[in-house]
Chain A
Amino acid sequence: MGINLFQILNGLTFAALLFIVASGFTLIFGLLRIVNLAHGALYLFGGLVGYSAAQATGSFVLGTLAAMACVALLGVALDQGLLRFVRGVELRQVLLTLGIAFVLNDLGLVIWGGDTYTMPVPDALRGAARIGPLFYPKFRLFVLGLGIVVFAALWLLINRTRLGALIRAGVDDPEIVEAMGINIRRVFLGTFALGAALAGLGGAVGGAFLTLYPGADAEILVFSLAVVIIGGRGSLVGAGVGALLVGLLNAIGQVLFPELAYFVIFGPMALILAFRPLGLFGRTA
């Protein structure tokens, strides 16, 4: 079996999902210097909340919004409630978020049990669309489009708005931004909430075509890590390129070496690290 259009589309749609999740991760990492290892847990938790909300309201859109809002709130609570105690000490922050990930996942197990859930998809996105000679699930095409929209929106936000300028300035030199009379803490908090909301969006969307199950958080986390390690800290374009690379490699790997697909993202990551330890678009802090 060779590589055909179907697999490439699978890779692209997976890359779009990865981008949605990893862009939130890289935003938080880049600006706040917080490596949020609870990002995968936020993804899964958001997906499960989205599932329940969508079941209750019968609407995919409402479910997705609920997932984003709930996870954004969780993110704010974590930042204000726990991370403030270890501000500025990177390793303690990372390990703390790891603790949060464990608690959050276990909480998910308590509330939803260990079952597998599939986020219900609206009727308009069910079934397959015809592209040339092949039929392809509409929903995955929708995810591909969504990924592009999120990329464009984030790019505009960061490069064309005042808030984006503050974020970029904050990445480079938070002290000076603060000295200019700007409440950088508020910008940080907003970014944290936005990054978390992106994890929630990823969870709701990913829950519809990858399903939600215990352990999904760890899988998406390691993919996001690979994306950010390849792309470089805090770089949106890096996250995009990284997501494409990881998504496509994963799709190709699944066809060529089904049992070792996981291994295939490892090669390019190693290569890139050998030449650029900070990632393709990474800059020194």
Chain B
Amino acid sequence: MTAPLASTLPPLERNLPRGRTLGWLAALAVALVGLPLVLPGYQVSIAAQILIFSVLAMSIDVLAGFAGRTPLCHGAIFGASTYVVIYWTTTLGGSLWAGALLGILAATALAALFALLAIRTSGVYFLLLTLALGMIVWGVCLRWTSVTGGENGLRGAGRPAFLADHVSFYYAVLAVVAPVTFAIWRFVHSPFGMTLRGIRDSESRMRALGYNVPLHLFLAFTISGAFAGVAGALYAVFNDFVSPSTVQLSQSVAGLLMAITGGIGTLLGAFVGAACIILLENVVSLFTARWPTVLGLAFILIMIFAPEGIVGRARLALARRR
């Protein structure tokens, strides 16, 4: 019943010796830092967007890949943080820092509330319930016109001067995303993360071993919501505008699709997935306005042909070669 999308992936640690992993990470870091030096301004902005959505996809992967609970509400949690940041900086005239903090807190609180309701369910029920919860956020944002501006949304106060150009904004995003990625990585590889994997693979066994399964799931959900909130706060600065489309279902779906495209349970696959989906969106929108169709088709094709995702596939291939 709780069979996750892909649980049979061999762990990365077994495939790559530690030294080589570090080497890859160093190469990746150099590439990410050097990126703005070679790319033109607009592409740098897309790269920043990819980094932001990678965090969203990773936050989804924490639940989908490690706790075996696939959520469809993270777009709403993400967008709630965006709303709070923009409302705080414009309507209330507060500072960006406090706004970002409040946004992340709001996302965490929202996730905790959702978690209280959702952790008792699993599998498809979990998916449905989180979907319904996320849709409620969307409904509230759409109808609560006096606060959220309804369909017109809220325009932000503009980026602060030191983040105004694409390159400095990119570095600022990188400076946030890198430690956050490390934190998520540590989180899923901590004993707590191991317990989550145990719950994913056999809930009843973990219960019999004396683990407090609901508490673990609650904390995992809440923490994953906090990470989604970080992404949402970054997005508020990036986009400088928020409307119900930021919290709508397609946002959750896009985030989940990024996580799945990269590979559920691979964590860093989120970067690959986010890059694929966002680049695809940018290429497709050059030719046609039918992005939802492409998104839907991508979803259908991936579900039929490659549910383990790009990084998952690669790892399976690697494991087979050994």
Contact = CB atoms under 8 A, between A and B. Distances in A.
Interface of A: 33, 35, 37, 82, 85-86, 89-92, 94-96, 98-107, 109-110, 218-219, 221-222, 225-226, 228-229, 258-263, 265-266, 269-270, 273-274, 277-278, 285
A99 B300 contact: yes
Interface stretch (B51-59, B118-126, B159-167): B118-126
A277 B135 contact: no
Interface of B: 1, 3-5, 70, 117, 120-121, 123-125, 127-129, 131-133, 135-136, 138-140, 142-146, 248-250, 253, 256, 260, 290, 292-293, 295-300, 303-304, 307
A82 to B, nearest CB: 6
A219 B136 CA distance: 10
Contacts of B135: 218, 221-222, 225
26 contacts: A37-B131, A82-B304, A90-B3, A91-B4, A91-B5, A91-B123, A91-B124, A94-B124, A95-B256, A95-B299, A100-B300, A102-B296, A103-B292, A106-B293, A222-B139, A225-B131, A229-B129, A258-B143, A259-B144, A262-B140, A263-B139, A263-B140, A269-B132, A273-B117, A274-B117, A285-B1
Contacts of A94: 124, 127
Contacts of A86: 303-304
Given A103-B293, A259-B145, A92 B132 contact: no
Given A222-B139, A269-B132, A260 B250 contact: no
A270 B117 CA distance: 6
A277 B125 contact: yes
Nearest to B260: A95
B299 A85 contact: no
A106 B129 contact: no
Nearest to A35: B124
A231 to B, nearest CB: 12
A261 B124 CA distance: 27
Contacts of A221: 135
B132 A102 contact: no
Contact of B127 (A35, A100, A265, A278): A35
Contacts of A85: 304
A30 B290 CA distance: 34
A108 to B, nearest CB: 10
Closest CB pairs A-B (n = 5): A102-B296, A262-B139, A99-B299, A103-B296, A222-B135
B253 A102 contact: yes
A229 B132 contact: yes
B125 to A, nearest CB: 7
A229 B128 contact: yes
Nearest to B113: A270
A82 B300 contact: yes
A226 B299 contact: no
Nearest to B300: A99
A102 B127 contact: no
Quick one: which of B1, B125, B146, B295 has the most chain A CB within 10 A?
B125
B132 A225 contact: yes
Contacts of B249: 218
Quick one: which of A82, A102, A259 has the most chain B CB within 10 A?
A102
A106 B139 CA distance: 21
A89 B136 CA distance: 27
Contacts of B4: 91
Contacts of A109: 292
A43 B140 CA distance: 23
Nearest to B307: A92
B163 to A, nearest CB: 33
A56 to B, nearest CB: 26
B141 to A, nearest CB: 10
A269 B136 CA distance: 12
B136 A262 contact: yes
Contacts of A103: 292-293, 296-297, 300
Nearest to B292: A106
Contact of B128 (A35, A89, A96, A260): A35
Given A92-B303, A99-B299, A261-B143, 19 more contacts: A33-B124, A37-B131, A89-B307, A91-B3, A91-B5, A91-B124, A92-B307, A94-B124, A94-B127, A98-B296, A102-B292, A103-B293, A107-B293, A218-B249, A259-B144, A259-B145, A262-B139, A263-B140, A273-B117
A218 to B, nearest CB: 6
A104 B133 CA distance: 23
Contacts of B300: 82, 96, 99-100, 103
B136 A106 contact: no
A109 B292 CA distance: 10
Contacts of A225: 128, 131-132, 135
Quick one: which of B5, B135, B307 has the most chain A CB within 10 A?
B135
B217 to A, nearest CB: 13
A57 to B, nearest CB: 29
Contacts of A96: 299-300, 303-304
Contacts of B139: 219, 222, 262-263
Nearest to B147: A259
Contacts of B304: 82, 85-86, 96
A262 B143 CA distance: 8
Contacts of B297: 99, 103
Nearest to B4: A91
